[in-house]
Structure 1
Amino acid sequence: MPFAVYALGLAVFAQGTSEFMLSGLVSDIAADLHVSIPAAGLLTSAFAVGMIFGAPLMALFSRRWPRRRALLFFLCVFGAVHVVGALTPDYGVLLATRIVGALANAGFWAVALVTAVSLVGPEARARATAVVVGGVTVACVAGVPAGAVLGGNLGWRSAFWAVALVCVPAAVVIARTIPGGRTESAPASVGAELRGLTAPRLLLTLLTSALVQGATFCAFSYVEPLATRVTGLGQGWVPVLLALFGVGSFVGVTLTGRVVDARPVALTVSGLVLLTVGWTAFAMGAGSPVATVVFVLVQGMLAFGTGTALISWVFRLAPDAPTLSGSFATSAFNVGGALGPWFGGLAIDAGFGFRSPLWVSALLMVLALGTGCAALGARRAADRSRDGVPAV
């Protein structure tokens, strides 16, 4: 695996830490900037929305740039807005930096995924994807807790400084290892790329990816009340469960990257089935501390492993959209990350209790299993049509 791919993973680690670290800093930010806690919570929502819309917009914005230039531009902007965020005393400015940072993050993600798979042969594309996505899982395991520790001891602004600092070595390595020239002299037109993204099998794959991530974040956004009010674990167990989720995610991404290129269909379908069964079993067994600990680890592994496999499918199914395929995969990931917690919150507000997000996750996975099988069927029909065999 080229060292440049790991540099992309390091940059994604810094950006993933920034995306999730505010969950442990909201109270301090609210107190320091004299705003309400819900207002401080909007900083996370603004980042998620910026990621959803920013990925395709930034991919279009930078599509004619050499990939090294695009990656460095987005990473430098991301680091710079964190410096501004660390210095500002104004909530409005901080909110603006989160939006701009999300746009830069989305642009980096879109270009990084395409760059990673272009640096390796076809047999290692899923593994390269796993290294990039793995930056997020390492952020969950180490970056987010470290940000919380820094914020608790040195103030929330120190976490922003730390994110900006981690961007520096990543930028240096990217500048030295990513090829500087254009990978193609005449990029496909925007219309051609968009047409390449309209195939039913690809749209169904993107929808499946969004549903899988929706199920994941629906459940894990409410781990704290689930653990303390349903399972009966103490508050001290919450960071342990979050760390276990991160460890499981890292293992899932790593293992998937090593095997999915050889057996993509079997691994993806198996992951969808096991996730559906797992969320259902978790919902039924959430009252048991042992079951909760096991399911947090296993579901994190299955969720991110299956998510990585689905991202690799997007690249397989969109060869005619080399610059936009990564952005659409990024947007689908974040659509699920934004809608999943909302769906879980609706279930709780409706009076179904803190176990209900797990049932919602199970329902989302039933839908994901259906769309995933439909995507596979559409792909096989397209293959038969291309080979001259009538589809049935």
Structure 2
Amino acid sequence: MKKTSRLPVTLTAPGERALRAGHPWLFDGAIRSVKGEGKAGDLAVVFSVKKNKCIGVGLYDPGSPIRIRVLHGGGPATVNEDFFRKKLAAAKELRTPLLATDTTGYRLVHGENDGLPGLVVDVYAGVCVLKLYSAAWLPWLDTLLPLILEVAGSETLVLRLARVVENAARASTAGAGLTDGAVLSGHLPEEELIFREHGRQFYANVVRGHKTGFFLDHRDNRKHIGELAEGKEVLDVFSYAGGFSVHALAGGATGVTSLDVSGPALEQASRNVQLNFGGDPAVAGRHQNMEADAFDGLAELAESEKTYDLVIVDPPSFAKSEKEIPGALAAYRKINRLAVPLVAPGGVLVAASCSARVTAEDFFKVIAVALQVSGRKHKLLDKTFHDVDHPVGFPEGAYLKTVYYRIY
């Protein structure tokens, strides 16, 4: 571990309340005073103003608005190898049931929600992919790497860096030589790996792919789509790499259309279809791509009076900041209003949101109103949230929500 210091910190009254409530982020405005200058990765030891007692410990990050990433609240803690080993072991234990489902792609550490804020570990077919969202973790890598490999039962680890962390790494001694996509342990013959998800196979580019190589959070919903798809015509809107499309084909869909604005994403969807069904041309032939902006594509399909038995609408995050929330709600309203006419009588609409700033209550209300405005009878079938490897430990951690409606 690179040398770090201990920084005595006191908070404002709202900051203390946030810490005592278990929030893992302490923003710069929550800090009353810091004894010393502090550098990324220093241990912030937080003292109460009134009683001068330690009420928490976290990692200091002077380059981020989230000034302290809380590792422990409620009193003092010794942050060392054993501390991190216990955190990682607890995270692995939570995922144990998932690993018994013919699944080799999963999230081992879900950042704040597993007590390690700003740090994510995904595992693809035995290869660990560590993604850092805070430069505060850079001085701790020497301690963390062998522990992650030990708990995951892996030999290979790839480092992925958020842009702000990669910039910090270039400028700091703690991050010297670290680059996005670097293999820090073991051997990686190819950038692209094949992993399994409930028996289906997918490609993940762990060096250059989005996030860590794949979007794992919708796993349970993709499985559910496979269970609903038998004998159905399916439209997968914002299909990206075809996760829903592959599971729909595996479930016996008579036809699947993957709609996305990105040609490379659709190419990846086709490759994932071939990976699973290349040996069965009859199944692979049921899949087709439609390259179009989702809003324009849905309007075009409606004009042609095309309908589907199962329509999945899973857009990227429409709200990355507080000020974007009204626009995001309007976009959810518009895209789902366009989708409703494409659902055949008796078919199912599956609408999802991955915008953390849009609450589940607001999102579900938007979908309900879109259905009411359509004038079609409908029945709520289910509401789903995060899979087991994406636990929720604080309000902002609850980003994924999905609703299923049968439409008559």
Using structure 2 for the length normalisation, give the TM-score: 0.25
Higher helix share: 1
Report which structure shows greater RCO (CA 8 Å, sep ≥6): 1
User: Which protein shows a greater Rg?
Assistant: 2
